[in-house]
Amino acid sequence: MSFEQIANEVARRRTFAIISHPDAGKTTLTEKLLLFSGAIQLAGTVKGKKTGKFATSDWMEIEKQRGISVASSVMQFDYREHVINLLDTPGHQDFSEDTYRVLTAVDSALMVIDAAKGVEEQTIKLLNVCRLRSTPIVTFMNKYDREVRDNLELLDEVESVLKIQCAPITWPIGMGKVFRGVYHLLNDEVMLFTPGEDKAGQDVAEVIKGIDNPRLDELFPLEIQHTRNELELVRGASHPFDLEAFLAGRQTPVFFGSAINNFGVREILNALIDWAPAPGGRDATVRSVNPDEQKFSGFVFKIQANMDPKHRDRIAFLRVCSGKFERGMKMKHLRLGRDVAANSVVTFMASSREQVEEAYAGDIIGVPNHGNIQIGDSFSEGELLAFTGIPFFAPELFRSVRIKNPLKLKQLQKGLQQLGEEGAVQVFKPLSGADMILGAVGVLQFEVVKSRLENEYGVDAIFESCSIYTARWVSSEDSRMLADFEKNLGMNLAHDATDNLTYLAPNRVNLSLTEERWPKIRFHATREHA
């Protein structure tokens, strides 16, 4: 394949995640994006409460409620001759590491805000994660069919709390019962709102040209006058859209609408295609990798078990970083130093899981994992490239694990090994002592692991609190010093799931004293995949 062909394929790809506080409308919007692009044909809303907090993906909820097969954390669909890869971020209240790693695999993000509530806690955390990589953000202010907060106040809150400039692209006319539509500032057009949920793939909004069009005064004089007044303020006080500032992650274009009514969705998709970046270069240990290089490469950012409970499969999600992936090709698993035949690699179409024939930078492919693949693993056609920037965070919560039935020890070890590799929890094996230690960032992770140990591995485990304050991965250039450290502090040391030496500190004071006493040992609060 020629360089141009690969470059063209890369240029027409967009890979993004939706980030939001729970209940802001992420699931609804995902479904509408799929409906809009024609990827799924069913219309209607995702009704009812989420049934269980253990759902691996919010899309599983769509699947359950709608009887369609979308269970996956990744979905690919076509829109305007572009290939869109949409990645789910876990919907847990507890901020999980998994989310961070998903965000390392995208080129942009769509932030959904419940306009009745404004900026919420989870949004702040997620945005901070995006900021680490200067990921461009498109903002959607949702739920305008309800009573929401003041528009200008909302923008002000985004700017002051999230520290990102807002450039409104559309502006709402009214809200709740008198939500009339949105005005598009760049096109000088008003799109009229008609409630309804069944607008699969079509754009039925009536458009009126010009904010001063007298038709608007005939239709809704009060609201349009209010909007005109507001727009004067907006034009004076807010920033005009600046593509460069958006791409640098300093400014976010803001759209208003109602996901449930499929209103405002087209504008978001268009913004992603017109403005969001195509897949970019990625850093590896030896060099930076360009997406349009001839040779295939990629990294694993997530492992998910039991996507289909009938087959106990585990899938490694790999983001293609360069070249062309072709079915049947040999990929080199760089950590293990051996080839993996890529025959049953799958892609995630909106309505099914299909065999991948080919994939390019930005695409996510699913590699069946029989226990050899870990988060952070890199694959290539042979070149020794280890992609960087896929971190693990030092956990903040710890539990020691025992089992009721000692005969189940093997299953417990297997379960924890697999859940550890998957990134569901961090697993530490102390150098001394038999009980394994689990580390998590959010407390809900323990509940998920306990329930999965029971359901998937048949192990009844007991989790007990333990007196560990934090963990630090340790390393040293001085191997004799490291051996000495191990000998002296063995009581506080453990190996993590990938055998990295870790210091488990009982309290803050202990940690700083130990750091002082062992100046040649380095203590790391994050670890990148080795």
248 is in an annotated binding site: no
CA diameter of the chain: 84
Cβ of residue 449: shortest distance to ligand G4P, in angstroms?
22
What Cα–Cα distance (Å) separates residue 265 from each residue in 33, 75, 204, 325, 418? Answer: 7, 17, 12, 31, 39
Closer by beta carbon to ligand G4P, 142 or else 238? 142
Q: Report yes or no: 457 and 415 within 8 Å, Cβ to Cβ.
A: yes
By C-beta, is 45 or 290 nearer to ligand G4P? 45
Q: How far is the CB of 268 from ligand G4P (least distance, A)?
A: 13
Residue placing its CB nearer to ligand G4P in the complex, 177 or 480 = 177
Output the six-digit token pair for 268. Answer: 């978001």
Number of C-beta neighbours around residue 240 at 10 A = 11
The answer to whether 372 is a known ligand-binding residue is no
Q: Does the annotation list 27 as a binding residue? A: yes
Please calculate the CA angle 343-347-349 and round it to the nearest 5 degrees.
145
DSSP secondary structure of 460-496: -EEEEE----EEEEEE-S-HHHHHHHHHHHGGGEEEE
- Select 29 or 471, whichever has its Cβ closest to ligand G4P: 29
- Tell me which residues touch ligand G4P (CB under 6 A): 20, 22-28, 45-47, 49, 58, 91, 142-143, 145-146, 258-261
Residue 160 assigned ligand-binding role:
no
> Is there a binding annotation on residue 292?
no
> Which residue do the tokens 């949702």 mark?
142
Q: Nearest distance from residue 171's CB to ligand G4P, in Å? A: 17
Whether residue 24 is annotated as binding a ligand: the answer is yes
Distance set, CA 484 to CA 56, 273, 472, 489 (Å): 43, 56, 17, 8
**Which residues make Cβ contacts (< 8 Å) with residue 499, sequence separation at least 6?**
none
The CB-of-291 to ligand G4P minimum distance in angstroms stands at: 30
Residue 145 among known ligand-binding residues? yes
**Residues β-bridged to residue 168:** 254
| Residue 127 Cα to chain centre, angstroms | 11
Nearest distance in Å: CB 20, ligand G4P = 5
Q: Residue 98: which H helix or E strand, with range?
A: helix 97-104
Of 26 and 332, nearer to ligand G4P (C-beta) is 26
Give bridge partners of residue 439 from the DSSP assignment: 398, 426
The CB-of-46 to ligand G4P minimum distance in angstroms stands at 6
Residue 30 DSSP label: H
Q: Which is nearer to ligand G4P, 258 or 445 (CB)?
A: 258
- Which is nearer to ligand G4P, 60 or 438 (by Cβ)? 60
Closest separation between CB of residue 114 and ligand G4P, Å?
A: 8
3-state secondary structure of 395: coil
Say if residue 221 carries a ligand binding annotation.
no
As a whole number of angstroms, the distance between CA 347 and CA 525 comes to: 34
Element spanning 124, H or E: helix 121-132
Radius of gyration over every alpha carbon of the chain, rounded to an integer in angstroms:
25
Question: In angstroms, what is the minimal distance from the CB of 176 to ligand G4P?
Answer: 9
Min CB(170)–ligand G4P separation in Å: 14
**The tokens of 484 are what?**
């000495």
Q: How far is the CB of 178 from ligand G4P (least distance, A)?
A: 14
* Residue 471 main-chain phi, psi, to 5 deg: -120, 145
Is residue 438 within 8 A of residue 496, CB to CB? The reply is no
Instruction: Return the number of other C-beta atoms located less than 10 Å from residue 243's C-beta.
Output: 13
Q: Pairing state of beta strands 436-440 and 470-475?
A: unpaired
Q: Is 92 annotated as a binding residue?
A: yes
CB of 116 to ligand G4P, least distance (A): 9
Could you give the C-alpha distances from 435 to 112, 126, 401, 431, 499, in angstroms and in order? 42, 34, 6, 10, 16
Has 458 been labeled as part of a binding site? no
Beta carbon nearer to ligand G4P, 264 or 415: 264
Judged by beta carbon, residue 26 or residue 399, the one nearer ligand G4P is 26
Nearer to ligand G4P, 22 or 506 (CB): 22
The response to whether 205 counts as a known ligand-binding position is no
For residue 247, the tally of other CB atoms under 10 A from its CB is 18
Q: Which is nearer to ligand G4P, 28 or 322 (CB)?
A: 28
142 is in an annotated binding site: yes
- Provide the 10 A C-beta neighbour count for residue 231: 16
370 assigned to a ligand binding site: no
CA–CA separation, 420 and 449 (whole Å)? 10
Would you say 309 is a known binding-site residue? no
Known binding-site residues for GTP equal 20-27, 88-92, 142-145
Known binding-site residues equal 20-27, 88-92, 142-145
